[in-house]
Amino acid sequence: MKNTIFTGAGVAIITPMNEDGSVNYQVLAELIEFQLTNGTDAIIACGTTGESSTLSTEEHLEVIRFTIEKVNGRVPVIAGTGSNDTSYAIELSQEAEKLGASALLLVTPYYNKCSQSGLIAHFTAIAESVNIPIIIYSVASRTGVNIAPETCAVLAKHRNIAAVKEASGNLSQVAKIAALCGDEIDIYSGNDDQIVPILSLGGVGVISVLSNVAPQIAHDIVAKYLAGDVKGSAKLQLEWLDLCNDLFIDVNPIPVKTAVNLMGYKAGRCRMPLSPMDAKAEAVLAATLQRHGLIQ
Domains of the chain, by residue range, sit at 8-229
Residues with a catalytic annotation lie at 137, 165
pTM, to two decimals: 0.97
Average pLDDT over residues 203-209: 98
Using pLDDT thresholds of 50, 70 and 90, give the confidence band for residue 121. very high
Mean pLDDT of 287-291: 98
Please report the pLDDT score of residue 2 as a whole number.
83
Top-level class of domain 8-229: alpha beta
Q: How far apart are CA 140 and CA 46, in angstroms?
A: 19
Burial level of 62, CB count in 10 A (0-12/13-18/19+)?
Answer: middle
CB 292 within 8 A of CB 243: yes
pLDDT at res. 252: 97
- C-beta separation of 139 from 170 below 8 A: no
Q: How confident is the model at residue 158 (pLDDT cuts 50, 70, 90)?
A: very high
Q: Cα angle vertex 147, ends 116, 230, to 5°?
A: 160
Q: Is residue 1 scored above 90 in pLDDT?
A: no
The 10 Å Cβ neighbour count of residue 21 is: 13
